[in-house]
Amino acid sequence: MTIPFNNSFAALPGTFYTTIAPTPVAAPGAIAVNDDLADVLGIDGAWLHTPDATAVFAGNVLPDAASPLAQLYGGHQFGNWSGQLGDGRAILLGEVIGTDGIRRDIQLKGSGPTPYSRGGDGRSWLGPVLREYLVSEAMHAMGVPTTRALAAVTTGEQVYRQTMLPGAVLTRVASSHIRVGTFQIHAARQDTDALRVLAAYTIQRHYPDADGPAGLLDAVVAAQAELVAKWMGLGFIHGVMNTDNCSLAGETIDYGPCAFMDAYDPQKVFSSIDRMGRYAYANQPGIAVWNLAQLATALIPLMPDQDAAVADFTTRINRFSDIYQQAWVQVFGAKLGLDDPSPEDAALIQDLLTLMAQSDADFTATFARMTNGDDPDDMPGWQDWTTRWTGRRATDHHAIMAKANPLVIPRNHRVEEVITAATGGDFAPFHRMLQVVTAPYATLDEARAPYALPPEPSEEVRATFCGT
């Protein structure tokens, strides 16, 4: 047995994708495989560690029952309509129904050119593969809906990204790869039949209780609101919240120029291409609403009374604010050890964040110190705020906080150290860091403690880059 495929997207009309196989690589070599995820997917663990599996994850061998294809989608990128996009360096091998009954995609990233590559080589260099592996698995461990990494392999080939760099392929697992942009491209082409098929498929796959396009919109609004609230609670900045990176399944997808904040700054931007700060930390909820408005626009042609639908869909999108605010209070309330967070706690939460911003306090370390009963360092106004907090927090607040505040995250400078070492052929730092960040709440022993430290000024990473 290799991979127990049970494909459904490939059974849709060809207007949604192009059938294409991965391009083989010269000399695939295993970097990492995810035994725990493989077990959920029903993939034989012994096979996972064989050269046969490495060949599959490199794209050199197609497993039985695979239906390889590149998905079509469009999208707004930094607010501008880019027209047709699509999987330019990724190929969906197929789907599996896991031991938990959930259907998931298995996709190869960096698997060669497709008709949607727009002149690119369809490959990935090693750095983005390791970054996505580390960050997506850490996000999963912290309870954030996310795509996951099943395997990473080297290709034995070089790719050119301003210089020659080692190539790699990531095997990504997702609840699906349907995006806002998947709907947008068919709306732009005025292909109502395709929109109708896609909406029905998405409802059946992700939200079977949703009542038509309006119900689908409601479900995606709620999923995105809850997802972004969890990002905010970790100081996570996606970096490129284009509509083609907005998953209808409500998962974090496409870890390009992403990063976790060190010092708290609501206007923080890491992406080297986000020169205007569109996707800054504090802007993420508003951008999610903007993206959802584009989904609503794409769904309007499916409604019998389109004028009435515009007003109705606007009301539904505006519900995002209340759902998000409630989720945000729940997330940060848990981080502060509140027993039953309520809307009235928003001021307490925001006042702490204001103090942190004024003091350049490290986001993760501040909450970690509070969890351990320690005062944050050098925070004027801390004592007055603490008096308010003490009167509000639960008796067992330390236990609540310990489940909500990771002690370690994939800090940017550590990720860069891993990538630098791996580029030179040393993967030991990657494996050490992976072990640490996938146990984010575990006690800090001697081996784990360095990963909890904020960067020294000379170690700070101020910009991250797109994986392409």
**Catalytically active residues, by annotation:** 244
Is residue 107 exposed (0-12), middle (13-18) or buried (19+ Cβ within 10 Å)?
Answer: buried
Give CA torsion, residues 204, 209, 214, 217, to 10 deg. Answer: -70
Confirm if 52 and 33 have CB atoms less than 8 A apart.
Answer: no
Side-chain half-sphere exposure of 91, counting CA atoms within 13 A: 28
The DSSP code for 64 is T
Farthest CA pair distance, the chain = 64
Token duo for residue 38? 């493989």
DSSP for 298-329, written as a single string: HHGGGSSSHHHHHHHHHHHHHTHHHHHHHHHH
Return the closest-CA partner of residue 90 out of 193, 27, 161, 173: 173
- Helix or strand run (H / E) with residue 76: strand 74-77
Return the closest-CA partner of residue 3 out of 72, 66, 90, 70: 66
**Residues in contact with 145: Cβ distance below 8 Å, sequence separation at least 6, in sequence order:** 223, 227, 230, 249, 250, 251, 252
Q: Would you give the distance in Å from CA 463 to the centre of its chain?
A: 18
The DSSP code for 374 is P
Helix axes 397-404, 320-335, angle to 10 degrees: 120
Return the closest-CA partner of residue 328 out of 392, 404, 263: 404
Unique residue bearing structure tokens 């989608």: 73
CA 463 to each of CA 161, 232, 239: distance values in angstroms, whole numbers, following the listed order:
17, 19, 10
Token duo for residue 64? 């039985």
